[in-house]
């Protein structure tokens, strides 16, 4: 079983060592050679380790896992498994050449006279590997096993590439032999190639001849191994720091430059930034292209090297133009393969599938036409989520991609040879026309149960057809257009100017993706049709930008109404439209444009191409000029940034001479040609920016999407924080919520009745401004899952990859913190970053609107988002002498930051592997734990009084004891933090309470961090604290929210109390506090019966029963009257138990105070008896601790409460828990 640590190169390693850890010794110690590919040969032994069952395991994951994030487990299994094998090979002096897919290739280079000894050494290494790691049992039921092949002889190596990027290839007959030996081997077997068998000391092995002159299976040793002499360089010490001398080389700039050529650019950038190796790995969706070249057997090896060099240069050039990278080149028996990846970190583009297909077809054509010795060219393309990161050991690891689609792309090469094939996902996401593809027959693929539909890409071909008249969005008559009155007014004003001034008008709406531009066009289309104005509508795809005059061709075809008529009737239709407007001899000018066949006239035959183009435009002007005399003509063009330059020129000229109305949309960001910019600068063009939706409109839209009239507060904030006013994001999020089936819908038309169970309560929150009478409400029964929602179909990763590596790292770390970020916690997560670097990168991100400063004027949301506080700021405030630079930095640090791009935080958070997510959330939790207490104005302490002292150490998890350790400095630290959040307050006056900020900036984040790292007991602890803080702040709704989350952690209650088992282990005190807090929430919601029931339950858990009947009241009153004398005779408690006793005492008094208020609501004699009993029990609970000051205060409260009871049934004006507050003041002072 794998036990190695994760790949994590020390930060103190020099750059040469970090580069060398990614490359074999064969490259590190290689002597520089010429630029041309040059063969170098040496004697050596090759070891090939093939991990079987891995492809089947990936297939099982792809079929059974509900979430693609479970691929983290797949990568974790492989990385930990292969790391042990890598270290074992290094211990025996081997050089790891590469880790490709599920195959590891290692080399021992030796002199000829040592070859037999090294074969014996490698055989021993192989037997130990099979013994220790031969079988790896996974929880999924699919075992991983090893097949090992050995070969020996002359090994050839060659470097291909150019001065920017180079690749190492190991070729020759012995490379083919080791692959052949692996194929002959079964699971847990070791097979030697025939040449290796002839060169070794045969008497030492127990073997079985598999095939004469081909392979030999090794069964074990025939002699003791004490006679084996190991080479001098083998130390036998398996330490990551001493396994490779390549990691201990002196700094050498020439060596560094040489090594850099063998590493991908995006990885180099992260290494140059000093990012730790564990921060480099990511989960992301990529597009993989595998190019397979098979050569004729007659080709010479040196000639093959030149062919591979030529192919590598062309492939890397073409792939990089499309945003991809040539990851690696590896040889196989009949030729070589080139693995290319689109969408690696820093390279993500929205149209990567289309680029991959076009690049593949270009490579396919080049290889067939220019590589003479090529026998077969096959290319396969897949798209899907993969693990992109490091696998291996600390001393030797590689950057690779792992996932089911990686296995699929390799299987497709053999299933569809000689073609450019792609999977269905690539076909759909490319958005290329269907006529560029051909569906392929289904074929069985090894270890892949459901490969899906496959397509052959035929290359980009233009089909003889017009663009369709359509808009991206249809108008929904049930949904009104929200917050677009100003935009519609711009169109109506353009209509008025066109009618009165008889001049063309153009309205261009610009905005980001999803801002509702297409929906606005649909509304304009509806309004124009309602008035009877003729329309020409066209949405432009990106491919149209490369076809000259295509936009004009399509819109004029729509104008002539020939776009929808049958092809055989198109010419007659066009003749009728042109009749009376264009002379018949000129009709043939439109033959090529509209795919008709008018006879060529004498006049047109004498025109050159330029003259014909001018005449076509003149005819269009003439036709449109006559058309607008009768009625206004409106052209609607969606996604106009894709319009070709010739069409922009035509519309610009037309607008200045013909009174038409053009309405276009432009999606930001865009780059326009010169004619387009000239069009925008014309006096007839008006550029109207599309703003984001207001919060009220966005929430109204959410109600429409969900089919309700009101939504709870936490769902409102969830949507507002993720949509940023973008309606498309709101629509997608609502659809995702509905598909996840985590929402509960309630009918509010029914009369509300008092609930008898906590589980049936719902947080009632009406949203103002929707409808006069709400009819439905939606709330979540599993709301904590929303914080971990994944795989939203929004390309936020594209935006993230536009940033520099250091900016990406900052955003990824900020995503762990939450939507709101504090600078010091951010710096805490960024290893090796000083204040200047952090501030510089933050400024760049703020300038790009990726992040924005959270100023005091912005209202802090009530959602439990991850908003950390800081400890480093406290230290800075204590330093009175600061330089000007430090003061400037401190000024920036007084502000919180928040994300400014929709769903960017979610996209960045998803990129982290699960293990690294947990590690970072643990860092955040440890950073915040000391601040989870009341503010300094409230004298510190827990919100649930003495909470952390009352936790039973035997039942609390390690996480609780880890995070819930009390420190006296907490309240002081918190006070300084909250003062810095409100610098406008006068520090000379009485310090106000800052518990609200503590709740939002510390307690709420801690609950989320603890849930993510799996510390549910600790999460329950902070949920109780957050609920108590919310009640102190009179925020009953958020208290209800936190307690519902705590309820979900405990799980469903059993129908029988003695069978009740919680999913989270909590002590009896916490269970009592949980009941007490729920009782107070129910009291505030008017659920009196349930509040009494929960308060009694809390007292029972605190070993203090409260009766339910009048007889019980009499009996309990009799007992309470003699309680004082009995308690005074009890021996004193152990001082170590005092704090725990204080916690129980406080909770008892609080529950009794609540019961007193509940019974005082009923002006009956029976209720008065219950209220008097509650007050008497409070007095006895105070006397139990034998403090005279407490007793006097309790008696004062007793008389005050009795006075209130005698009033005319009015509700007492004392706040809930008043007696508990009295006790707090004295008990806390005694504790200090």
Give the integer Cα–Cα distance in Å for 483 and 489: 12
CA distances from 918 to 387, 909, 912, 1011 (A): 17, 11, 9, 10
Position 225 scores a pLDDT of 53
**Residue 9: band (very low, low, confident or very high) from pLDDT cuts 50, 70, 90:** low
Q: Give the predicted TM-score (pTM) of the model.
A: 0.79
| Residues facing 30 on adjacent strands | none
Position 427 scores a pLDDT of 94
**Residue 1185: band (very low, low, confident or very high) from pLDDT cuts 50, 70, 90:** low
Give me the residue spans of the domains in the chain: 15-260, 270-457, 485-602+628-689, 695-788, 796-911, 913-1064, 1078-1231
**Residue 1216: band (very low, low, confident or very high) from pLDDT cuts 50, 70, 90:** very low
Average pLDDT over residues 1213-1229: 40
Q: Is the pLDDT of residue 280 over 80?
A: yes
Topology of 485-602+628-689 in CATH? Answer: Rossmann fold (3.40.50)
Q: Does domain 270-457 have CATH number 3.40.50.720?
A: no
What is the 3 state secondary structure string of 123-166? HHHHHHHHHHHCEECCCCCCCEEEEEEEEEEEEEEEEEECCCCE
Give the integer Cα–Cα distance in Å for 178 and 174: 6
Q: Is the dihedral of CA 1072, 1074, 1079, 1084 positive or negative?
A: positive
**Residue 890: band (very low, low, confident or very high) from pLDDT cuts 50, 70, 90:** very low
Element (H, E) at 667: strand 661-667
Element (H, E) at 941: none
Q: What is the pLDDT of residues 403-460, one digit of tens each?
A: 889 989 999 999 999 999 999 999 999 988 888 899 999 998 888 888 889 999 998 7
Q: What percentage of the chain reaches a pLDDT higher than 70?
A: 76
- Strand pairing report for 420-423 and 397-402: unpaired
Buried b / exposed e over 925-959, threshold 16 CB at 10 Å, is bebbbbbbbbbbbbebbbbbbbbbbbbeeeebbeb
Give the integer Cα–Cα distance in Å for 928 and 825: 9
Q: Is the pLDDT of residue 8 over 90?
A: no
Q: Is the pLDDT of residue 895 over 60?
A: yes
Give the integer Cα–Cα distance in Å for 921 and 829: 10
Q: Does domain 796-911 have CATH number 1.20.1740?
A: no
**Residue 1192: band (very low, low, confident or very high) from pLDDT cuts 50, 70, 90:** very low
Q: Is the pLDDT of residue 1153 over 90?
A: no
Q: What is the mean pLDDT of the chain?
A: 77
Position 1125 scores a pLDDT of 56
Q: Is the pLDDT of residue 394 over 60?
A: yes
Spatial contact of 182 and 206, defined as CB atoms under 8 Å apart: no
Alpha helix segments (H runs only) across 818-913: 823-829, 835-847, 872-878, 884-893, 904-910
Give the integer Cα–Cα distance in Å for 8 and 687: 52
Choose between 1129 and 399: higher pLDDT: 399
Short-list 126, 156, 189, CA closest to 37: 156
**Residue 1048: band (very low, low, confident or very high) from pLDDT cuts 50, 70, 90:** confident
Radius of gyration (C-alpha) of the chain in whole angstroms: 38
CA distances from 213 to 116, 206, 732, 848, 975 (A): 19, 18, 63, 66, 82
Of 490-499, 929-938, 980-989, the poorest mean pLDDT is in: 980-989
- Best-predicted range by mean pLDDT (63-77, 596-610, 733-747, 803-817): 803-817
Q: Token match 């090294």: residue?
A: 118
- Best-predicted range by mean pLDDT (665-674, 757-766, 995-1004): 995-1004
Paired tokens of 509: 């709406």
Q: What is the pLDDT of residues 324-360, one digit of tens each?
A: 999 999 888 778 999 999 999 988 888 899 999 999 9
Short-list 660, 645, 472, CA closest to 559: 660
Rounded to 5°, angle at Cα 1183 from 1178 and 1187: 125
Spatial contact of 116 and 200, defined as CB atoms under 8 Å apart: yes
CA distances from 529 to 433, 471, 493, 533, 563 (A): 30, 14, 17, 6, 19
Number of H-type helices and E-type strands within the chain:
49, 27
Position 898 scores a pLDDT of 86
Choose between 104 and 629: higher pLDDT: 104
Which phi and psi (to 5°) does residue 386 adopt?
-145, 165
Choose between 31 and 1031: higher pLDDT: 1031
Spatial contact of 1060 and 1054, defined as CB atoms under 8 Å apart: yes
Identical topology for domains 15-260 and 270-457: yes
Position 364 scores a pLDDT of 95
Q: Is the pLDDT of residue 1210 over 50?
A: no
Q: Is the pLDDT of residue 636 over 80?
A: yes
Average pLDDT over residues 939-954: 75
CB atoms within 10 A of CB 242: 13
Q: What is the pLDDT of residues 1066-1117, one digit of tens each?
A: 788 888 888 989 888 888 888 888 888 888 888 888 888 777 776 767 777 7
Q: Is the pLDDT of residue 1165 over 50?
A: yes
Spatial contact of 992 and 998, defined as CB atoms under 8 Å apart: no
Short-list 709, 789, 775, CA closest to 747: 775
Average pLDDT over residues 1031-1048: 87
- When the candidates are 3.40.50.2000, 3.40.30.10, 1.20.1440.230, 3.30.70.1230, the CATH number that belongs to 15-260 is 3.30.70.1230
Spatial contact of 403 and 74, defined as CB atoms under 8 Å apart: yes
Give the integer Cα–Cα distance in Å for 258 and 32: 8
Q: Is the pLDDT of residue 1193 over 80?
A: no
CA distances from 89 to 132, 184, 229, 234 (A): 13, 22, 17, 11
Q: What is the pLDDT of residues 469-523, one digit of tens each?
A: 556 566 666 666 777 888 888 888 888 888 777 788 899 998 888 888 888 888 8
Short-list 195, 191, 182, 196, CA closest to 216: 191
Q: What is the pLDDT of residues 293-324, one digit of tens each?
A: 998 877 778 888 889 999 999 999 999 988 89
631 burial (CB, 10 Å; 0-12 / 13-18 / 19+) is exposed
């Amino acid at each position: 079983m794998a036990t190695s640590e994760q790949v994590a190169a020390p930060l103190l390693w020099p750059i040469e060592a970090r580069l060398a850890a990614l490359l074999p010794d064969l490259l590190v110690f290689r002597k520089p050679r010429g630029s041309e590919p040059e063969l170098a040969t040496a004697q050596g032994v090759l070891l090939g380790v093939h991990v079987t069952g891995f492809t089947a395991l990936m297939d099982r994951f792809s079929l059974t896992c509900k979430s693609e994030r479970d691929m983290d487990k797949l990568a974790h299994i492989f990385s930990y498994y292969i790391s042990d094998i890598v270290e074992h090979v290094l211990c025996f002096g081997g050089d790891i050449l590469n880790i490709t897919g599920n195959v590891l290739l290692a080399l021992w280079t030796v002199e000829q006279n040592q070859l037999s000894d090294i074969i014996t050494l490698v055989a021993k290494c192989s037997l130990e590997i099979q013994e220790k790691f031969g079988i790896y049992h996974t929880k999924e039921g699919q075992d991983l096993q090893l097949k090992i092949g050995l070969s020996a002889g002359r090994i050839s190596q060659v470097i291909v590439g150019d001065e920017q990027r180079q690749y190492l290839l190991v070729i020759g007959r012995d490379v083919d032999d080791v692959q052949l030996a692996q194929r002959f081997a079964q699971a847990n077997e070791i097979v030697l190639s025939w040449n290796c068998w002839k060169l070794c000391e045969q008497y030492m092995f127990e073997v079985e001849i598999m095939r004469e002159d081909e392979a030999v299976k090794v069964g074990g040793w025939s002699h003791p191994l004490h006679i084996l002499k190991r080479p001098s360089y083998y130390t036998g010490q398996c330490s990551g720091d001493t396994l490779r001398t390549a990691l201990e080389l002196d700094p050498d700039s020439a060596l560094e430059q040489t090594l850099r050529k063998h590493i991908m650019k995006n990885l180099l950038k992260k290494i140059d930034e000093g990012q730790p190796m564990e921060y480099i790995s990511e989960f992301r969706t990529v597009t993989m292209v595998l190019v397979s070249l098979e050569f004729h057997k007659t080709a010479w090896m040196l000639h093959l090297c030149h062919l591979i060099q030529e192919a590598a240069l062309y492939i890397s050039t073409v792939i990089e133009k499309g945003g991809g990278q040539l990851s690696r080149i590896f040889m196989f028996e009949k030729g070589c393969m080139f693995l290319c990846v689109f969408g690696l970190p820093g390279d993500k583009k929205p149209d990567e599938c289309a680029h991959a297909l076009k690049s593949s077809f270009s490579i396919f054509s080049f290889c067939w036409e220019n590589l003479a010795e090529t026998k077969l060219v096959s290319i396969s393309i897949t798209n899907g989520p993969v693990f992109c990161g490091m696998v291996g050991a600390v001393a030797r690891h590689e950057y690779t991609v792992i996932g089911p689609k990686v296995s699929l792309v390799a299987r497709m090469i053999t299933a569809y040879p000689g073609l450019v094939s792609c999977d269905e996902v690539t076909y759909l996401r490319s958005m290329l026309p269907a006529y560029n593809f051909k569906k392929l027959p289904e074929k069985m693929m090894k270890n892949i149960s459901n490969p899906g539909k496959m397509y052959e890409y035929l290359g980009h071909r233009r089909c003889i057809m017009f663009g369709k008249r359509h808009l991206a969005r249809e108008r929904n008559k049930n949904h009104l257009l929200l917050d677009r009155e100003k935009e519609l007014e711009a169109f109506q004003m353009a209509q008025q100017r066109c009618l009165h001034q008889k001049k063309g008008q153009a309205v261009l709406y610009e905005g980001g993706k999803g801002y509702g531009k297409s929906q606005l066009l649909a509304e304009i289309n509806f309004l124009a049709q309602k008035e009877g104005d003729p329309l020409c509508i066209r949405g432009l795809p990106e491919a149209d930008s490369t076809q000259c005059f295509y936009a004009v061709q399509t819109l004029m075809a729509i104008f002539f109404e020939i776009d929808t008529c049958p092809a055989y009737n198109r010419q007659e239709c066009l003749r009728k439209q042109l009749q009376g407007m264009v002379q018949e001899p000129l009709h043939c000018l439109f033959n090529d444009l509209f795919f008709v066949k008018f006879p060529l006239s004498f006049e047109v035959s004498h025109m050159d191409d330029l003259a014909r183009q001018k005449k076509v435009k003149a005819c269009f002007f003439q036709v449109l000029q006559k058309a607008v005399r009768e009625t206004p003509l409106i052209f609607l063009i969606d996604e106009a940034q894709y319009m070709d330059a010739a069409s922009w020129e035509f519309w610009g000229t037309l607008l200045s001479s013909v009174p038409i109305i053009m309405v276009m949309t432009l999606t930001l960001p865009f780059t326009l040609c010169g004619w387009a910019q000239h069009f925008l600068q014309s006096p007839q063009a008006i550029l109207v920016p599309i703003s984001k939706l207001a919060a009220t409109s966005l929430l109204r839209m959410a109600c429409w999407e969900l089919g309700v009239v009101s939504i709870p507060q936490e769902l409102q904030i969830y949507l507002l924080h993720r949509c940023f006013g973008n309606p498309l994001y709101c629509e997608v999020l609502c659809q995702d919520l509905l598909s996840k089936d985590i929402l509960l819908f309630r009918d509010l038309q029914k009369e509300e009745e008092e609930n008898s169970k906590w589980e049936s309560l719902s947080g009632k929150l009406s949203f103002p401004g929707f409808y006069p009478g709400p009819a439905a409400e939606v709330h979540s029964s599993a709301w904590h899952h929303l914080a971990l929602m994944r795989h939203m179909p929004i390309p936020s990763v594209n935006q993230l990859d536009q940033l520099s590596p250091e900016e990406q790292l900052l955003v990824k770390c900020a995503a762990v913190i939450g939507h709101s970020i504090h600078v010091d916690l951010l710096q805490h997560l960024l290893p090796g970053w000083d204040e200047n670097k952090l501030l510089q990168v933050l400024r760049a991100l703020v300038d790009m609107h990726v992040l924005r400063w959270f100023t005091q004027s912005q209202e802090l949301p009530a959602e439990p988002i991850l908003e950390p506080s800081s400890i480093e700021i406290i230290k800075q405030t204590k330093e009175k002498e600061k330089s000007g630079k430090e003061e400037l930095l401190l000024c920036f640090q007084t502000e919180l930051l928040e994300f400014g791009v929709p769903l960017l935080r979610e996209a960045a958070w998803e990129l982290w592997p699960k293990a690294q997510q947990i590690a970072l959330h643990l860092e955040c939790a440890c950073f915040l734990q000391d601040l989870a207490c009341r503010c300094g104005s409230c004298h510190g302490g827990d919100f649930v009084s003495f909470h952390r002292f009352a936790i039973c150490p035997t039942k609390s998890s390690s996480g609780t004891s880890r995070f819930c350790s009390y420190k006296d400095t907490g309240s002081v630290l918190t006070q300084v933090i909250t003062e810095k959040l409100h610098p406008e307050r006068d520090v000379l006056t009485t310090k106000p309470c800052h518990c609200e900020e503590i709740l939002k900036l510390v307690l709420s984040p801690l609950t989320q961090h603890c849930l993510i790292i799996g510390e549910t007991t600790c999460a329950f602890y902070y949920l109780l604290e957050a609920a108590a803080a919310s009640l102190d702040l009179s925020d009953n709704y958020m208290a209800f929210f936190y307690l519902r989350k705590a309820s979900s952690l405990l799980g469903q209650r059993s129908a029988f109390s003695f069978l009740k088992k919680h999913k989270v282990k909590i002590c009896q005190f916490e269970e009592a506090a949980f009941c007490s807090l729920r009782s107070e929430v129910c009291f505030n919601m008017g659920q009196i019966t349930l509040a009494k029931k929960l308060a009694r339950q809390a007292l029972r858990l605190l070993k203090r029963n409260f009766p339910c009947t009048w007889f019980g009241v009499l009996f309990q009153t009799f007992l309470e009257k003699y309680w004082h004398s009995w308690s005074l005779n009890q021996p004193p408690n152990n001082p170590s138990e005092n704090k725990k006793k204080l916690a129980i005492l406080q909770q008892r008094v609080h529950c009794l105070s609540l019961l007193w208020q509940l019974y005082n609501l009923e002006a009956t004699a029976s209720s008065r008896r219950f209220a008097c009993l509650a007050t008497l029990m409070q007095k006895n609970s105070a006397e139990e601790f034998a403090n005279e000051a407490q007793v006097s205060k309790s008696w004062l409260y007793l008389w005050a409460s009795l006075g209130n009871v005698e009033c005319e049934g009015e509700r007492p004006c004392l706040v809930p828990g008043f007696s508990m507050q009295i006790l707090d003041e004295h008990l806390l002072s005694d504790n200090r």
